[in-house]
Amino acid sequence: MTGYGKATAELPDKKINVEIKSLNSKALDLSTRIAPIYREKEIEIRTELSKQLERGKVDFSLWIEKKDTAEAVTTINMALVEGYYKQINAISDTLSIPVPSDWFQTLLRMPDVMSKAEIQELSEEEWQVVHEAIKTAVSQLVEFRKQEGLALVDKLNHNIQTIYSLLEAVVPYEKERVEKVRERITEALEKTLSVDYDKNRLEQELIFYIERLDINEEKQRLTNHLKYFIDTMEGNSGQGKKLGFIAQEMGREINTLGSKSNHSEMQKIVVQMKDELEQIKEQVLNLL
């Protein structure tokens, strides 16, 4: 969701600047700073940004640079100054109050003496120019996001393939683990406890115990989740939340693998899987 776009529009008397920044967010969080003359179009701008950007913390700025600074200078209302001057003199004569020692500063502080030039109305022609600048800035941001997205896809594919490889690395230790469990229990019965036992019954109990440690279902489900993650990622856009849910399911299977592993090397592999999964969860937060 991270992105940036900027565009300008040239008009005879001014330059219009449009800037859009986007960061990660669970929903669309849009804030705008718009020059007064264009505020009547704010709802239209917000609607267009919402359709294009979908999610993210978005900052939108639209401001004006005047080409002729003389036009932007605050004007002094001379008629108003004259009126205040006459009124103050009349009050002074009537109430015998001394007139100000600094007439100029006193008059400039009076209400509405300093006034800016009237705000011009927004013409349809000007809005079309500004609107094109907005669309250009949005397009730049979307393109920026796409480039970031491609880099993320490469990273996520690497993480997924690593988990696939780690899942394959578990296989050699599965048979070894079963034999070690069998040896440990048999040795405990024969040497430590020094008792006679029913070997057939022992075999049944071992089978039951080993079945509880079986991880084939977890491996299959994890494999399915990995495939589903890739298919979803390569499908339509706007799947960030869905990928987050799939990553949660992957985490459940990896945790179960860890609890059933009962083997030091397998547990190390599970830790590596968790590390890759955490990277996936972090990166998924950046996706729409």
Residue 139: its pLDDT value, please? 94
Within this chain, do residues 259 and 220 fall inside the same structural domain, yes or no? yes
In contact, 62 and 17? CB cutoff 8 Å:
yes
Quick: pLDDT tens for 169-189. Answer: 988 887 777 677 777 777 766
Residues 185 and 174 in one domain: yes
User: Are residues 51 and 131 located together in one domain of the fold?
Assistant: yes
pLDDT in tens, 67-121: 765 555 667 888 888 898 899 989 988 988 888 888 888 888 888 777 654 556 7
Q: Is residue 282 within 8 Å of 156, Cβ to Cβ?
A: no
Instruction: For residue 213, give the nearest of 266, 282, 286 by alpha carbon.
Output: 266
Q: Is there a domain that residue 120 lies in?
A: no
The DSSP symbol for 119 reads P
Clarify whether residues 206 and 247 are in a common domain.
Answer: yes
* pLDDT tens digits, one per residue of 134-177: 999 999 999 998 888 888 889 999 999 999 999 999 888 877 77
Same domain? 101 vs 155: no
Same domain for 50 and 136, yes or no, is yes
Total count of domains within the chain: 3
130 shares a domain with 37: yes
**CA-based nearest residue to 215, from 250, 162, 253:** 253
Does residue 157 sit in the same domain as residue 212?
Answer: yes
3-state secondary structure of 278: helix
Task: Decide if 24 is inside a domain.
Answer: yes
Give the residue numbers spanning the domain of 185. Answer: 146-284
The answer to whether residues 139 and 156 belong to one domain is no
Are both 106 and 177 inside the same structural domain? no
